[in-house]
Amino acid sequence: MNIFDFCDRFNISLAKARRMEKANVLRLDENTPDEVQEIRHLLLRGQPLSASHLAGLIENPGWKMDLGKYADKALAALAPLGDALDEKAPLMVSAYIADAAGNDPHAQGEIIAWLRKIIPRKPVPYNYVAVRLILGIPPIDRVNDIPRIPRVLLNVRKHESFSGYWRLVQNGTRNATVFCAPGKNSFDL
């Protein structure tokens, strides 16, 4: 039993269980990776998964079994992404992430050219693009490059040549970025 099963079964808050565990009062079998525990905790609370969590689920299909009753929610979060592993960013595109985050026009142009190829003619969520960028980054460089992806996509969206490929849509009380290639079945505006 892991800490999340323990909290669910005995109706104890996660914070209290962690304090008990830290005080060596509670010992649980923690064979699941920390990333899986984070994903499970987010799904338990009804929060959306980050792009790095989604990329981890794609690269490690065995994690879905560790999620238990939350595996269906994880699969539902992966469904809008399509086949991200086959469409991941090429190494030459992911090499430009740091420069594009620093507002280098050449690096932004390379990322824009790649984005124009992968963005479909139907609206897709922000994570559709972010996950493909993450999967293209070599694992050793992800610690540095994953935090740069929001800045890269913000800089790319400001670029004039990318203006018809994204929109902000109302998602509850917040705005969400949606990508879509211009064309016949593009955004309904």
Domain boundary assignment for the chain = 1-31, 34-81, 91-179
Asked whether the predicted pLDDT for residue 106 surpasses 80, the reply is yes
Which of 32-36, 73-77, 101-105, 175-179 is predicted with the least confidence, judged by mean pLDDT? Answer: 32-36
Q: How many CB atoms are located within 10 Å of the residue 94 CB?
A: 23
* Nearest residue to 128 via CA among 145, 153, 105, 110: 153
pTM for the whole thing?
0.79
User: What average pLDDT does the chain have?
Assistant: 87
Helix residue ranges per DSSP H, the chain: 3-10, 14-22, 34-44, 51-59, 63-66, 71-78, 91-94, 97-101, 105-118, 126-136, 142-145, 149-158
Say what the pLDDT of residue 1 is: 67
